Structure 1
Amino acid sequence: MALPYVLTLIADRAHGPLNPAVVRTARDMLGGAAPIELSPGEAVDIPCPSPGPGAPGAAALRAAFAPHRVDAIFQRVRGRRKAVLIADMDSTIVANETLDDLAALAGCGEAVAAITQASMNGEIEFEDALRQRVALLKGRPATLLKRAWSETRINPDARTVVQTMRRHNARTALVSGGFTWFTARVAEACGFDEHHGNALTLSGDTLAGTLHAEILGPDAKRLHLERLAEERGVKLSATCAIGDGANDIPMLTMAGLGLAFHGKPRVRAVVERQINFTGLRTVLFAQGYPAASFVE
């Protein structure tokens, strides 16, 4: 009979290959079976029995393998592959914080970055922080949007994650507290089925310093997750969400597979499954996809 749980180990390829000794340690900790290779020297699945009394939890597993720069994701085998993917944009699908970049070009970068950091750490309510930041852009030329986009870098394997999941009939959405001006372009570049964000108001050829629709914040991200699951005809357990900031917590904790991607401290404190050392390929490895099946 197949074992009901699986531990996926993923190595930071820039740091070196996955050490067989690490895999043996993981098997010993959980009483696991022989590893199943997902990517040579990079990722393995270790089938495991149901955790009994005293079995190491998620935090203990992360701590055990952190010195090796290995991410460890423990979960049930049943239902691993998800029918919905919902992803944050800034510092997740793209390497940038697009609002901070826009502000830097506008000459108010330090003030906006400080508010962003406080918001992502949960020190300021997201909606208040966004209004404060956008107000600082008032009167700046709208051409700064194009300049900020030219400096935006999509993270490695973002398109691979989206296209692989779409190949397997998943619905994919980019849902950001940032601006639709950027989400539209990132969604097109990666191939997301849909995108959502906040709409900047323009006054002629300048930024008006306001938003011209209801703010898309943490609750809206969660509601999009619920909607996507309903439209796809699946339970929330069949969804995957990925993000890094405090405004992502509601969707990350509700999704069947919520992954904190190089998350802020507040996010790591509450989200059990974390990508701390590796890249976006881990979203696919966590679902049991071997590298050979990735849509590159």
Structure 2
Amino acid sequence: MFTQPSIIIQAPRLNLSLMEQAAATANANQLVLLGAHGGLLYDIDTTSVSDIQQWAKNNLIDFAYFEQGLQDWKNMKILAMDMDSTLINIECIDEIAAIAGRKEQVAAITEAAMRGEIKDFSESLRRRVAMLKGVPATALEQVYTEKLFLNPGAEHLLQKAHQAGIKTLLVSGGFTFFTERLKQRLGLYETHANTLEIDSNGYLTGEVLGDIVDAQAKANYLKTLAEKEGASIHQCIAMGDGSNDLLMMENAYYSVAYRAKPIVQEQARFSINHSGLDAILNWFNP
């Protein structure tokens, strides 16, 4: 059990020499190796935290500070994740648009929305979906089978979550076509996303059916599940990369910006920029 102030550093390039350098800077009483590319700096000089954080940034190393030490993984209750560019490697809507020869226009709106430059996510989604009118629905399957891959560490993280009885929640401003397939494939507990309308001839109409899953909806789904499971904010993890994930992330102590836009990195408690999604496993006692 690690109950004293601790720092965890991780990155593919992290080696023993760099770990020892960090431990010396932090005046850590103990350095615990976390595999080949991770280290726990335990019982540190808390006045050195900002120095280590800057050192990690300069050296392309992921940094996480735990003032009260580490919680037990088995005590966590909810792992909530965004889909596009978090659980998976792509923005699905951009890849659907690419098949229609409209990726540049759609991707520009996606980027602006994720950076927080377009405040009304629902309107930005409707604008992008409208550009998909007339695209054959077979394009969705093509994107799923040819373009969509899980981000590094995803399967390992989810496996460990399920083994610990942690409920896995996938909430996306993307589309149910993809979230439902990922739910079955990965054994996810609950998924929510938007439904694309398809006409009787098998083409996208350019419309979304029902209410749009926006930032507030994402937050509400997490809050509802947390209430159902009796989970405190300290028992929730929320991972995302775009500005529409921020409200959801406010409802989790472990708010994690995964290779995220600057606005998300600024507001999240933790960031992962170099390691895989499963880097968070090292933040907890096994």
Taking structure 1 as the reference length, the TM-score comes to 0.88
Query: Within the alignment, does 1:56 sit opposite 2:53 as a pair?
Result: no
How far did residue 2 of structure 1 move? 5.6
Tell me if structure 2 keeps the 8 A contact 1:163–1:191: no
Query: Within the alignment, does 1:120 sit opposite 2:114 as a pair?
Result: yes
Q: Specify every segment of 5 or more residues in structure 2 that has no aligned partner in the other structure, as ranges.
A: none
How far did residue 232 of structure 1 move? 1.4
Query: Within the alignment, does 1:249 sit opposite 2:246 as a pair?
Result: yes
Residues 66-116 of structure 1: CA deviation (Å, up to 9, x unaligned): 333221111132535322100111111110111100011122111100000
How far did residue 237 of structure 1 move? 1.2
Tell me if structure 1 keeps the 8 A contact 2:2–2:69: no
Tell me if structure 2 keeps the 8 A contact 1:158–1:190: no
Tell me if structure 2 keeps the 8 A contact 1:29–1:56: no
Tell me what 2:203 maps to: 206
Match of 2:62 among 55, 71, 79: 71
Query: Within the alignment, does 1:234 sit opposite 2:231 as a pair?
Result: yes
- Residues 2 and 65 of structure 1: is their aligned pair in 2 closer, same or farther, counting only changes over 3 Å? closer
The answer to which of 22-31 and 116-125 deviates more is 22-31
Identity value in percent: 32
Query: Within the alignment, does 1:170 sit opposite 2:157 as a pair?
Result: no
Tell me if structure 1 keeps the 8 A contact 2:258–2:271: yes
> Structure 2 CA distance, aligned partners of 1:69 and 1:22?
11
Count of residues paired in the alignment = 280
Match of 2:186 among 182, 187, 190: 190
Matches within 5 A, 1:20-99: 20-39=16-35, 41-48=36-43, 51=46, 54-57=47-50, 60-75=51-66, 76-79=68-71, 81=73, 82-99=76-93
The answer to which of 128-137 and 146-155 deviates more is 146-155
- Residues 107 and 193 of structure 1: is their aligned pair in 2 closer, same or farther, counting only changes over 3 Å? same
Matches within 5 A, 1:102-181: 102-124=96-118, 125-150=120-145, 151-181=147-177
Q: Secondary structure at the match of 1:100?
A: helix
- Residues 213 and 95 of structure 1: is their aligned pair in 2 closer, same or farther, counting only changes over 3 Å? same
Taking structure 2 as the reference length, the TM-score comes to 0.91
> Structure 2 CA distance, aligned partners of 1:252 and 1:282?
18
The answer to which of 172-181 and 222-231 deviates more is 222-231
- Residues 183 and 6 of structure 1: is their aligned pair in 2 closer, same or farther, counting only changes over 3 Å? same
- Residues 87 and 21 of structure 1: is their aligned pair in 2 closer, same or farther, counting only changes over 3 Å? same
Q: Secondary structure at the match of 1:254?
A: coil
Given residue 241 of structure 1, which amino acid in structure 2 is its aligned partner? A
> Structure 2 CA distance, aligned partners of 1:276 and 1:283?
12
Given residue 233 of structure 1, which amino acid in structure 2 is its aligned partner? G
